[in-house]
Amino acid sequence: MGEAKARALEAIVKVAESLGAERLIRIEHAHISGVSYGTIGEPGRRFIEDLYLSGARVSVPTTVNPIGFDDADPANTGGILKVDKDFLEGQQAIIRALTGMGANPVLTCTPYKTRSFASLNLKPGSHVAWGESSAVAYANTVLGIWTNREGGPLALLASIAGRTYYYGVHIPENRIPSETYRVEIAPVDEVDAGVVAEILAETHDNDRPPLVEMGLPPEPYRDIVLREFSAALGAAGNISMAVIPGITPVETRGMRPGPAIEIEARLIISRRKDLAPGNPVDFIFLGCPHLAADDLKILDHYLNGKARIPIIATLSRDAYERAGDHIRRLQAKGVRFIRSTCLIVGQLKSRDYSIATNSYKAYFYLRRKVSSVGLLSLPALARLAVNP
């Protein structure tokens, strides 16, 4: 074993000991968060570069989260991001180190939507080590792929070691729901789902997952709702998994803990009202988590006219390449696409923006950075864009 790998293992063992984990387990994939120079800065850059320079290499297939700008065209800022020289240099150093170690720079928070991930053909029950809290909740809840909410540096160390600590939702008993929650609104849209996640983050105080009985819309909209729900769970709280009957690939029959706790319609409706945009909107933000290729079809469908409020849409290079026709049509309607980054990990040009979005997670992180953030569903945002 190389010296760098031994050091990565040593760090993981230290974390395992702190947590009281008895052993490590092998992982089949890693996803590394904390790679934007804007979020981790010089200390994070040095941490990653030092690993690379010490000879560390990934030992399992590894994907990478979004960075601070459009890597295919750093000048493509959508008119709202800023990229100065130091930022560009720091960010490129991080990417050089990660790719040098063998990680695949898909640069997206939805690695599970990329072609390279699909080609791995991971089965439900696979153990992985993922950073990116939205992807973690989606992996456990929707894909049935098992991962804790790994801190950014731990996900990187795990990819080098090929192992993580046996703890949390890697242990089958810890995936059995402890409480049932019944959502009174059906079907929920993605904003309802964000509010439900916020309520769960406050209410659910157990290491085991909540079982959430929540009526969902049909596909393809359903997956948008599930991604926004997962992202909100990871932002508003520290829940790494929910069990949704009919969605989560586990046998839920006979393990519904009762009686159900009601999440009442009036509670959701009133919180939604609080979160709706109150000010004139400067721009609409879509793509937190990143838009998938299928989402562009849906957006194209709802956006029936030229957007008079600019729409900023962030997505992976992979989705951008796959949705070519929709991309061109949407660009003609006034949508500005930015690849490989998002408004959470990129640097905003101004603090004065008033933004509307369908993402609770974006609301959670942007509310302290800009003057206002309001939440509406995708169809409502499309209507607002055309008829402000």
Partner 1 sequence: MASYRLKPLVPGYAEGETVKVERLSFYGEVDPVKGELYDGRSIAGKILVIGRSRGSTVGSYIIYGLKYYGVEPKAIVMVKSEPIVVVGAVLAGIPLYEGLPREVFEKIRDGCTLRVRPTGEMELLECPTEG
Interface residue list for partner 1 (CB under 8 A) = 11, 14-15, 18-19, 33-34, 39-44, 46-47, 131-133, 136, 148-155, 165, 167-168, 201, 205, 234-238, 364-365, 368
What is the enclosing helix (H) or strand (E) of 335? strand 335-339
Nearest to 53 by CA among 65, 45, 63, 61: 45
CB of 215 to partner 1, least distance (A): 27
Chain centroid, CA 59 distance in Å: 24
The least distance separating partner 1 from the CB of residue 168, rounded to whole angstroms, comes to 7
Which residues 6+ apart lie within 8 Å of 258 measured at CB? 180
As given in the structure block, the two tokens for residue 53 are 């320079």
Alpha carbon distance 265, 85 (integer Å): 49
Sheet of 30-32, strand order = 62-64, 30-32, 129-130
Contacts of 14 (CB under 8 A, 6+ apart): none
Cβ neighbours around 383 below 10 Å, total: 16
* Beta carbon of residue 20, minimum distance to partner 1 (angstroms, whole number): 9
Query: How many Å is the Cα radius of gyration of the chain?
Result: 20
Which of 153, 162 has the CB closer to partner 1? 153
CB of 30 to partner 1, least distance (A): 12
Minimum gap (Å) between residue 279 Cβ and partner 1: 21
Task: Decide whether 152 or 374 has the Cβ nearer to partner 1.
Answer: 152
CB neighbours of residue 82 within 10 Å: 14
Nearer Cβ to partner 1, position 150 or 282?
150
Q: Which is nearer to partner 1, 34 or 209 (CB)?
A: 34
**Nearer CB in complex with partner 1: 179/294:** 179
CA distance 98 to 105: 8
CA dihedral sign of residues 320, 380, 77, 99: negative
Rounded least distance, CB 240 to partner 1, Å: 9
Nearer to partner 1, 51 or 382 (CB): 51
Q: Which is nearer to partner 1, 105 or 237 (CB)?
A: 237
In the complex with partner 1, the residue whose CB is nearer, 85 or 368, is: 368
Minimum Å gap between C-beta 37 and partner 1 is: 11
Torsion on CA atoms 184, 191, 178, 250, rounded to nearest 10 = 100
Let me know: does 101 contact 58? Beta carbons within 8 Å.
yes
* Smallest distance from partner 1 to CB 373, Å: 13
> Which run of H or E residues covers position 339?
strand 335-339
